[in-house]
Chains A and B, each alone.
Chain A
């Protein structure tokens, strides 16, 4: 039985594709974007989230941790993340909800049981189920099994992807996907690498190949200060999508997504550094950048 590592299922998603949708978030990503809004989706393995503000100092986790990673020194709580192997026993004893496990193994049936509850809403609103993450394409076998089952059940399927993997992985999923939403971040490969940890050639290749299929695609640009928030950077992406539209023989949509810093607390709870801390809280010239996109006819 195929299991996937899922870190969240969000019902009533209205920004992840058309209609009312549920979004299934798969854990693990092949990029390391420094501003990531879902840092709990980066690493493929389950991991512990610790929110010290919720801790009531009961000490149960200290007693139960097989690795001795939890400590209570008076009222001070210490979590030695290096010792932790995410077995989750501390989570079971933490009723205050200060410790939680992000990412759990789910069978396709488990995911379906959750998302099919909203089937009547998908039907009445033209919605469906979206796979996201992390990078959902990386859990190729699980994603394929889940998408196939949804499709067989008459549910509209969508996927949000960054495109950084061998084409064959995505290709095997395409027969079961109704809509692809793909991120494009930077046309300059060196700048792309500095921001995301990887050059962009393979990503652009994925985009080209997608353009040459018949599958509905929406290209989206997360607009990030210092990365791509200039008219020049946006223009370059718009020109690229223009080329892809020519390849497709039809106009392909391009949307801009504004950056936010709401994810900051997630980094803290995961014991990660929030590299985007020094960035402004929002993109001030967002309207100007949207005009650039509109000039290209998007």
Chain B
């Protein structure tokens, strides 16, 4: 191309097109990707090896690993465990990781592999928890042992020190604490060495590429990349662009290490650089937006815009709007949340609604600051710290650098607990059976499930540091380097372990169906019900019974027994989780979220009395079942989900899908803003929203290749619709269709 100048718009177009092509290639090589669009770039074909692996959230995925690279094992099982082995292997991994530079981007680097996929076995078998397994299987618990990341670092630490500064800090405390933490300091130091090598090779490559580049604009860009990264190998960033590059390196290293996607308050982190550079005439808004876009392109990190500082003052600044703008111009999957609440700039909400309605990419999300803060305080966290809890994951927040939470990992499927409870009650001697007895049995088994989770968490907390320590996140936390202790093992200040419940609507509707059809109307006996459940509703009799049970008014309708049950279940769950800490003394925090496991958890669950067939998806998060109201009213949805909030600062997000016709003019946008604000006033904590053209969605469902750039918010994360498996696409489509007005 013989153009002598390239606008940022042109460069962004080229970068976006490259991403779509990379996505298409990923779909071909990896098949369905039912998770975040991780912005991972496929390596050159000669370096690809496709395998089955486990994701950072503990679920099976198809992954592409680094052909020809293997970790060194330090255990008879063939795995590698502990800070020394993990750190050295990761250093080696980074030192072999290819260079990636797109001359159109103002930032260097892309990540290609998941280090986690080499964690085989995932957990050191020496740390046995087989005594817990019978109950874990009985209740189909996702117990979280071996779970990784899912807390947030404080990037300010790294931005202040730079990589050499971090190395010096490590050396300083290693000497101070010697011999304590000997292996830990070795491992974490190895990671830094690996990162520096990776960055240095990019600086060198950029210099070489600049020498070959004929386009003057791109040549200049490459020279800048080379100079900037030569500096960043050791030194802290000096400019806005360098800060973006530093953050990107850290993000990619964290993402590759164990899937961490937490970033935090990007607007606060970048603001000082923005102010200095613009005051000195070195940066325009267009340039700033471009740099942010280049950052967002390489990782779909979780970001919070606006929100309270420790003193309760809103941190929204000009950079907050620049970040929103960058996401808007990119139009790719992004996990950026806009804060909404008392004293927070209402312009953020307004602009957020404008973007989500206009762009239809499920971006941004909306964060209910007030109740997240108020709930967090109830765990004994001081108000100043609670206010700093930052949105940094699918449905969760964490205090940057100071809190370890294992968020969004542990899941209790209420449906599994219910099925055990129902059979236990019916097998007991007492008859006639009553609803009260069923409820008692459910609470009893739920308590047991929570207790088993608690014991499992203690196993995790005791041993994770010597299985797979959080070496990358440790770098930017307050405490681990100072104390020589992994974040999972006492390195940080706050421990709030997240325990999520799922299948709330499935169980609430089941209770209500039994109450109406079995107890009040007597149309079905308990024994008949059990027979139908065991047979998965087989036969014409079974189908009739199934329809009879599923036609009872559902949670979400409002003012029905199912609504009452949903509230009671949520309250009972919160009470059980917060009643006491784990035996080792860790506080657990309740949430309601199924993440992308709605399908997986459903596939393992037998038929349930709400008319659900065996293997079908469970209800989504805290949401009512699709079809809960003929009019599918968003207000009914908002009221229902607000009423079942766990109340301790972890969220129960509202998942809502709207048709664009609802939002085709300014009045309708203002109504959506009211809907969001009021949901938060009523107690809500987070909103994941899609404004979707149903027709387009249905066409994409038939033929995903027709709209390769269609982005949907699946749950907490967003993804390309065409990257999802048929089951996941169906889940989104069913939800959207059911939400359409009658």
Interface string of A52-65 (1 = CB under 8 A from B): 00001010100000
Ordered by A's residue number, 5 sampled pairs between the chains whose C-beta atoms are within 8 Å are A11-B629, A11-B635, A56-B540, A56-B544, A95-B548
Q: State whether B635 touches A14 (Cβ < 8 A).
A: no
Smallest beta-carbon distance B556→chain A, Å: 11
- Cα A252 to Cα B723 in complex, Å, equals 52
Q: State whether B547 touches A95 (Cβ < 8 A).
A: yes
Closest to B662 in A: A14
Residues from chain B with a CB closer than 8 A to the CB of A121 are 635, 638, 674-675, 678
Q: State whether B682 touches A113 (Cβ < 8 A).
A: no
A10-B631, A12-B631, A12-B635 as given contacts; A117 in contact with B681, CB under 8 Å: no
CB contacts under 8 Å to B, within A1-20, are 8, 10-12, 14, 18-20
A19-B674, A20-B635, A117-B639 as given contacts; A14 in contact with B544, CB under 8 Å: no
Smallest beta-carbon distance A121→chain B, Å: 5
Q: Is B227 an interface residue (CB 8 A)?
A: no
A95-B548, A120-B681, A120-B682 as given contacts; A11 in contact with B636, CB under 8 Å: yes
Q: State whether A117 touches B636 (Cβ < 8 A).
A: yes
Residues from chain A with a CB closer than 8 A to the CB of B671 are 14, 19-20, 125, 127
Residues from chain A with a CB closer than 8 A to the CB of B543 are 56
Q: Is B530 an interface residue (CB 8 A)?
A: no
Q: Is B677 an interface residue (CB 8 A)?
A: yes
Q: State whether B559 touches A114 (Cβ < 8 A).
A: yes
Of B558, B636, B667, B674, the residue contacting A124 (CB under 8 A) is B674
A20-B671, A121-B675 as given contacts; A12 in contact with B633, CB under 8 Å: yes
Residues from chain A with a CB closer than 8 A to the CB of B633 are 10-12
Q: State whether B681 touches A113 (Cβ < 8 A).
A: no
A-B contact sample (19 more), CB < 8 A, given A97-B551, A123-B678: A12-B635, A14-B671, A20-B635, A56-B543, A95-B544, A95-B547, A97-B547, A117-B559, A117-B635, A117-B636, A117-B639, A118-B639, A121-B635, A124-B674, A124-B678, A125-B671, A125-B675, A125-B678, A127-B674
Residues from chain B with a CB closer than 8 A to the CB of A97 are 547, 551
Of A14, A22, A124, the residue contacting B681 (CB under 8 A) is A124
Residues from chain B with a CB closer than 8 A to the CB of A19 are 671, 674
The 9 closest A-B pairs by CB, nearest first: A125-B674, A11-B633, A95-B547, A95-B548, A12-B633, A12-B635, A124-B674, A118-B635, A124-B678
Q: Is B310 an interface residue (CB 8 A)?
A: no
Q: Is B331 an interface residue (CB 8 A)?
A: no
Q: Is A96 an interface residue (CB 8 A)?
A: yes
A-B CB contacts (within 8 Å), total count: 73
Residues from chain A with a CB closer than 8 A to the CB of B682 are 120
Q: Is B634 an interface residue (CB 8 A)?
A: yes
Closest to B643 in A: A117
- Cα A130 to Cα B670 in complex, Å, equals 19
Residues from chain B with a CB closer than 8 A to the CB of A11 are 629, 631, 633, 635-636
Smallest beta-carbon distance B114→chain A, Å: 42
- Cα A238 to Cα B662 in complex, Å, equals 28
Of A118, A123, A125, the residue contacting B670 (CB under 8 A) is A125
Interface string of B266-305 (1 = CB under 8 A from A): 0000000000000000000000000000000000000000
- Cα A125 to Cα B673 in complex, Å, equals 8
Smallest beta-carbon distance A99→chain B, Å: 11
CB contacts under 8 Å to A, within B636-680, are 636, 638-639, 662, 667-668, 670-671, 674-675, 677-678
Q: State whether A58 touches B540 (Cβ < 8 A).
A: yes
CB contacts under 8 Å to B, within A39-61, are 56, 58, 60
Q: Is B317 an interface residue (CB 8 A)?
A: no
Q: Which residues of B contact A (CB under 8 A)?
A: 540, 543-544, 547-548, 550-551, 558-559, 629-631, 633-636, 638-639, 662, 667-668, 670-671, 674-675, 677-678, 681-682, 741
Interface centre among A12, A14, A120, A124 (most CB of B within 10 A): A12
- Cα A205 to Cα B548 in complex, Å, equals 51
Interface string of A98-121 (1 = CB under 8 A from B): 000000000000000110011011
A11-B636, A124-B681 as given contacts; A117 in contact with B547, CB under 8 Å: no
Residues from chain A with a CB closer than 8 A to the CB of B741 are 10
Closest to A10 in B: B631
Residues from chain A with a CB closer than 8 A to the CB of B635 are 11-12, 20, 22, 117-118, 121
- Cα A12 to Cα B587 in complex, Å, equals 40
- Cα A118 to Cα B640 in complex, Å, equals 11
Closest to A57 in B: B540
Residues from chain A with a CB closer than 8 A to the CB of B667 are 14, 18
Q: State whether A14 touches B639 (Cβ < 8 A).
A: no
Residues from chain A with a CB closer than 8 A to the CB of B662 are 14
A12-B633, A12-B634, A20-B674 as given contacts; A95 in contact with B558, CB under 8 Å: no
- Cα A19 to Cα B278 in complex, Å, equals 41
Of A12, A56, A124, the residue contacting B547 (CB under 8 A) is A56
Residues from chain B with a CB closer than 8 A to the CB of A120 are 678, 681-682
- Cα A125 to Cα B678 in complex, Å, equals 9
Closest to B541 in A: A58
Q: State whether B558 touches A117 (Cβ < 8 A).
A: yes
Smallest beta-carbon distance A20→chain B, Å: 5
Residues from chain A with a CB closer than 8 A to the CB of B629 are 11
Smallest beta-carbon distance A53→chain B, Å: 14
- Cα A120 to Cα B684 in complex, Å, equals 13
- Cα A38 to Cα B647 in complex, Å, equals 43
Smallest beta-carbon distance A1→chain B, Å: 19
Smallest beta-carbon distance A96→chain B, Å: 5
Q: State whether A14 touches B547 (Cβ < 8 A).
A: no
- Cα A120 to Cα B681 in complex, Å, equals 9
Residues from chain A with a CB closer than 8 A to the CB of B558 are 114, 117
CB contacts under 8 Å to B, within A108-147, are 113-114, 117-118, 120-121, 123-125, 127
Q: State whether B559 touches A14 (Cβ < 8 A).
A: no
Smallest beta-carbon distance B113→chain A, Å: 46
- Cα A56 to Cα B678 in complex, Å, equals 42
- Cα A60 to Cα B547 in complex, Å, equals 13
Q: State whether A20 touches B675 (Cβ < 8 A).
A: yes
Residues from chain A with a CB closer than 8 A to the CB of B630 are 8
Smallest beta-carbon distance B739→chain A, Å: 11
Residues from chain B with a CB closer than 8 A to the CB of A113 are 559
Residues from chain A with a CB closer than 8 A to the CB of B677 are 124
Interface centre among A20, A58, A114 (most CB of B within 10 A): A20
Residues from chain A with a CB closer than 8 A to the CB of B636 are 11-12, 117-118
Closest to A97 in B: B551
Smallest beta-carbon distance A256→chain B, Å: 15
Residues from chain B with a CB closer than 8 A to the CB of A95 are 544, 547-548, 550-551
Residues from chain B with a CB closer than 8 A to the CB of A18 are 667
Smallest beta-carbon distance B205→chain A, Å: 54
- Cα A10 to Cα B639 in complex, Å, equals 15
Smallest beta-carbon distance A70→chain B, Å: 16
- Cα A114 to Cα B559 in complex, Å, equals 8
- Cα A271 to Cα B215 in complex, Å, equals 72
Residues from chain B with a CB closer than 8 A to the CB of A60 are 544
Residues from chain B with a CB closer than 8 A to the CB of A125 are 670-671, 674-675, 678
Interface centre among B667, B671, B677 (most CB of A within 10 A): B671
Residues from chain B with a CB closer than 8 A to the CB of A14 are 662, 667-668, 671
- Cα A113 to Cα B559 in complex, Å, equals 8
Residues from chain B with a CB closer than 8 A to the CB of A22 are 635
Residues from chain A with a CB closer than 8 A to the CB of B548 are 95
- Cα A216 to Cα B55 in complex, Å, equals 60
Residues from chain B with a CB closer than 8 A to the CB of A58 are 540, 544
